């Protein structure tokens, strides 16, 4: 969970055994509680390009949160 400039979003890190089925249900639950931004990034993206991941997530959060 990330809070920036009064907006809240979820940044999920997906590992190698990730499946999307549970993601959709979890995202719906977050949205029911007012969290509109739920973004998924691979573990390798987060490891290899952490600054880029954070920048992309915060941009989306500012626009849509």
* pTM (two decimals): 0.85
Strand order across the 37-42 sheet: 2-4, 7-14, 37-42
* Tens-digit pLDDT profile for residues 3-61: 999 999 999 998 877 777 778 888 899 999 999 999 999 999 999 999 999 999 999 99
Q: How far apart are CA 53 and CA 45, in angstroms?
A: 7
Distance CA 10, CA 1 (A): 5
């Amino acid at each position: 969970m990330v809070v920036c400039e009064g907006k809240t979003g979820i940044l999920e890190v997906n590992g190698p055994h990730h499946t999307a089925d549970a993601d959709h249900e979890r995202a719906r639950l977050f949205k029911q509680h007012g969290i509109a931004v739920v973004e998924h990034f691979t573990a390798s993206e987060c490891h290899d390009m952490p600054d880029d991941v954070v920048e992309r997530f915060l941009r989306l959060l500012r626009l849509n949160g």
